[in-house]
Amino acid sequence: MKDVLIWIHGDCLNPHSPALLAHPDAPRVFVFDEEVLAHYRLSLKRIAFMYECLLEIPRVEIRKGQVVAELAEAAREQGCTRIVTVESIAPRFAQLRAKLQREHNLPVEVLPLEPFAELSQTEQARIELKRFSRYWNPIKAKALALNQSFDW
């Protein structure tokens, strides 16, 4: 019986995420969030990109549905008593985390991510998460300056 379930979410589809590194043998689950899919009407191209990223993560179970219900069910099936994930700036993330703890008594440990770019509070407040280009365009100069060692 494992006590930790890793929650992989759309803001960290990385096979080297801190959660996976901290608990390499733990079961891991990603849930395609039906509410987000319906509300934002994500393109098939974006969904395929996410799926391809998930294929890079060993042993990840991919589900579709209500995130909280699916994570709670996965934890129950695996005998896990807590969830570990990485931080997200998406407002919905905090709501889902609180609901897991409140409704299913599943503590959620959130590990920090190394910042992709250092943004002021004003810049963070202006970030739009609906489309990648609206997120990327305002920060790309800072992000690329921080990562000059990459061979783009």
CB 54 within 8 A of CB 32: no
- Average pLDDT (78-100) is 94
Phi then psi for residue 7, to 5 deg, are -95, 110
Instruction: Determine the CATH number of domain 4-111.
Output: 3.40.50.620
Share of the chain above pLDDT 70, in %: 85
Q: Residue 146 — pLDDT band, cuts 50, 70, 90?
A: low
pLDDT over 90 at 118, yes or no: no
Summarize pLDDT for 31-52 with one digit per residue, the tens. Answer: 999 998 888 888 899 899 999 9
Per domain, the residue ranges of the chain are 4-111, 117-152
**pTM (global) more than 0.85:** no
Summarize pLDDT for 51-66 with one digit per residue, the tens. Answer: 999 999 999 999 999 9
Between CA 6 and CA 20 the distance in angstroms is 7
Phi then psi for residue 86, to 5 deg, are -115, 160
Q: Residue 149 — pLDDT band, cuts 50, 70, 90?
A: low
Lookup: tokens for 56: 């890079």
Summarize pLDDT for 125-138 with one digit per residue, the tens. Answer: 777 666 667 767 77
Phi then psi for residue 148, to 5 deg, are -65, -20
